[in-house]
Structure 1
Amino acid sequence: MGAGECAVSRFDSVKALVFDVFGTVVDWREGIARDAAPVLAQLGRQDIDPRAFADAWRRRYQPAMEECRSGRRPWTRLDVLHRENLDGVLQDHGIDPAQLGEAALDDLNRAWHRLDPWPEAVAGLTRLKRRFIIAPLSNGNIALMTNMAKRAGIPWDAVLGAEVVQAYKPQPEAYTRTAEVLGIRRDELCLVAAHNGDLKAARAAGLATAFVPRPTEHGPGQATDVAPSEAWDAVGRDFQDLAAKLGC
């Protein structure tokens, strides 16, 4: 039996695919840079590369969630954390957030709601939806996931957000409570992600795993997550290839 056949047989019992979103489904770096560029220009800060600004904002993502994961802070929606992180990254660049005003800050923060999918993502998800329930398993909140899907035409069967599980990946509860919410066993749920660490945590929680690389998520010089680090249950070049391998 070949590797493709093994993957298909493992998925005979899988009922739902849930997806990491930032980086796996959508290109956060280009989307944030697109929305940041006119704001930085308005501030007269053409010296700041919008993609570098996006990277700096994203670097605050994990530390902010770790405050919640560790219990040092109550669970807090990602929109709130992103907004606090935006103030911090502006200040890091010598910009007083008050220069923009609350309305402009809130609009820029909602750039995370307006991210574009990778070119084949919607078509691939549409194929996968024929056989499986599909939904996000993201650290993003429900409003963020809903607005993103509505704008981009992402065909989720259900819109789940971190409010549902009250946990941030890679906490085990983020994975196990998602299976509970969908009314299925853990081994009937598969996480699809471009991040090996996310998949490792999902596997430890009892989920099936599928890796799809996004080798330019962090730009052209990306050195992480360009290939699978373990023998995941399925590996696809992109969502279309994954759909073909899973018989969709």
Structure 2
Amino acid sequence: MSQIKAFCFDVFGTVVDWRRGVAREAARFFHGHGLEHIDAHQFADTWRSLYQPAMQACRNGERPYTRLDVLHRENLEKALRSFDVDITTITEAELGALNLAWHRLDPWPDVAAGLARLKTKYIIAPASNGNIAIMIDLARRGGLPWDAILGAEVTQAYKPAPQAYTRMAEILGLAPGEVCMTAAHNNDLHAARQCGLATAFVTRPTEHGPAQSTDLEPSESWDIVAHDFNELAGKAAL
């Protein structure tokens, strides 16, 4: 770890509990529209399932880079229709407000303290597919002490495209090996390692709910493996 100068973090799932937060916001929306029969957590899962396919269209050149707020808004309509919701009865303002659910997510309990410890020695920044406006709102809500906000809107590339990692290091003025990508997702770390970044795996065994079956353990020998951000800070010699 002696060469590491920055820790950069996946956000949705690693830093914040997206499933619980989106379900909370969706439940309020459904209650206000007589749709209480819809399972809010199932809806959150459905909305999230549209995330990767929407970004893939940008990765493979079918459409230019489009910030995540726009993709989420498009996916919101698809998700509502999949639950047989007549979106013609919902105003644009109401849809826009629900789309901001992704701006109102809470960090996992260990995050703020762990980041504060890491910040005493390292540059810390999000490396998220989320756009800057989302990252600012999440930071202000959760007290996340970032030194900078990086990610797709800055690099103009969605992970796991190589540019998402290499441009991030370039922006920081660092070599890839001086940046440690931190995530609860093995595929994110695999892509980062392929670009020369160091890697840290933090387990989030309930990101997808109590029946989660993916990313419960490291799939490779990552440079650091930790159960939470406090253990991560400890293993980073803090």
**TM-score surpassing 0.5?**
yes
**For residues 88 and 203 of structure 2, what CA distance do their matches in structure 1 show?**
39
**For residues 57 and 145 of structure 1, what CA distance do their matches in structure 2 show?**
19
TM-score (structure 1 length as normaliser): 0.95
Is 214-223 or 88-97 further displaced after alignment? 88-97
Answer yes or no: is 1:41 the counterpart of 2:31: yes
SS in 1 for 2:69: helix
Of 95, 98, 102, the match for 2:88:
98
**For residues 199 and 89 of structure 2, what CA distance do their matches in structure 1 show?**
45
Q: Which residue of 2 aligns with 1:85?
A: 75
SS in 2 for 1:235: strand
Unaligned runs of 5+ in 1: 1-10
Pairing 1:2-13 to 2, within 5 Å after superposition:
11-13=1-3
Q: CA RMSD in A?
A: 0.7
**For residues 38 and 165 of structure 1, what CA distance do their matches in structure 2 show?**
35
Q: Which residue of 2 aligns with 1:180?
A: 170
- 1:160 offset after TM fit, Å? 1.8
Of 11, 31, 35, the match for 1:21:
11
Given that 1:113 and 1:147 are in contact with CA atoms closer than 8 Å, whether structure 2 keeps it comes out as yes
Q: Which residue of 2 aligns with 1:3?
A: none
Unaligned runs of 5+ in 2: none
Pairing 1:1-248 to 2, within 5 Å after superposition:
11-248=1-238
Q: Which residue of 2 aligns with 1:5?
A: none
**For residues 127 and 42 of structure 1, what CA distance do their matches in structure 2 show?**
41
- 1:101 offset after TM fit, Å? 0.6
- 1:161 offset after TM fit, Å? 3.3
- 1:79 offset after TM fit, Å? 0.2
**Deviations 1:190-231, CA, capped at 9 Å, x for gaps:** 100000000000000110000000000000000000000000
Given that 1:145 and 1:161 are in contact with CA atoms closer than 8 Å, whether structure 2 keeps it comes out as no
- 1:97 offset after TM fit, Å? 2.1
Identity %: 61
- 1:98 offset after TM fit, Å? 2.8
- Count of aligned residue pairs for this structure pair: 238
- 1:100 offset after TM fit, Å? 2.0
Given that 1:208 and 1:233 are in contact with CA atoms closer than 8 Å, whether structure 2 keeps it comes out as yes
Given that 1:213 and 1:226 are in contact with CA atoms closer than 8 Å, whether structure 2 keeps it comes out as yes
- 1:96 offset after TM fit, Å? 2.2
Q: After the TM superposition, which parts of structure 1 deviate over 3 Å for at least 4 consecutive aligned residues?
A: none
- 1:162 offset after TM fit, Å? 1.2
The AA in structure 2 aligned to 1:187 is G
SS in 1 for 2:128: coil
TM-score (structure 2 length as normaliser): 0.98
